[in-house]
Amino acid sequence: MTDPIATHAGADSIIRMEAVNKWYGTFQVLTDIDLSVRTGERIVICGPSGSGKSTLIRCINRLETVQKGKIVVDGIELTAGGKNVDAVRAEVGMVFQQFNLFPHLTILQNCTLAPMRSRGMSKEEAEQVAMKYLSRVRIPEQAHKYPSQLSGGQQQRVAIARALCMSPKIMLFDEPTSALDPEMVKEVLDTMIGLAEDGMTMLCVTHEMGFARSVADRVIFMADGKIVEQAPPGEFFAQPKHEKTRQFLGQIL
Ligand code: ADP
Ligand code: MG
């Protein structure tokens, strides 16, 4: 592909995936994925269920390994072996559909655990950092409650704050609003918009097309383990090139 938006080749790419192929057993889940992401770029990934979206972003923090191809994240080559995993996890924050908070820890403890364990922060410093980000997602008053005492939207904002406590350079979101009641979607999207405005490099798997239109620099459409097309949102929604994209947009818009 020679589309300049698609390649962004060069030193300013914070993520580079080259000819990435992955199989689960004999099932090929990712086929020839080429993707470069610039620092500060905001990408929305959409596509039918089962198209490989989660698998693709999970490869970026090595929750999944690949059998073929190259992945480089902020200069760290993930495909070089196991020893780079901790380095990359410290730079890449991830937010899941099912919040994944530790139920037996308070909100504050959820946020301080990783900075104390992997960044060697003191409890005092970690708590200061945690309160800063809990304020930023507008729930500092919930710090001493447990996850089950919070609404879904609040839990998801905690999950975002928890990721931010590690000072990530990249944030990955995997359908962060899909498990939420409709009235809570906006508060989570607003938090994500705030992050985008602050210049965070973001890859978001989401079907929130309003979010894609207002925040994304680029929308990527996946089907059957491949990147079918990608374009800035204006172009992507106005003139989808592929029949599969048109079908998909017809179903969700
Ligand atoms: P999406 O996020 O687009 O819905 P996924 O990346 O979750 O897609 O999954 C892509 C395909 O890979 C699906 O067909 C799914 O069933 C399969 N798959 C996902 N994870 C595994 C796994 N751990 N083992 C085997 N197959 C998997
Ligand atoms: Mg998924």
Per-residue pLDDT for the chain (253 aa), expressed as one digit of tens each? 444 444 444 557 999 999 999 999 999 999 999 999 999 999 999 999 999 999 999 999 999 999 999 999 999 998 776 677 888 888 999 999 999 999 999 999 999 999 999 899 999 999 999 999 999 999 999 999 999 999 999 999 999 999 999 999 999 999 999 999 999 999 999 999 999 999 999 999 999 999 999 999 999 999 999 999 999 999 999 999 999 999 999 998 8
DSSP 138-158: T-GGGTTS-GGGS-HHHHHHH
| Rounded-to-integer distance, Cα 171 and Cα 37, Å | 12
Strands 226-231 and 76-77: unpaired
Residue positions counted in the chain: 253
Ligand with an atom nearest the CA of residue 96: 2
Does 55 sit in the ligand 1 pocket, CB within 6 Å?
Answer: yes
Residue bearing the CA closest to ligand 1, atom 21: 24
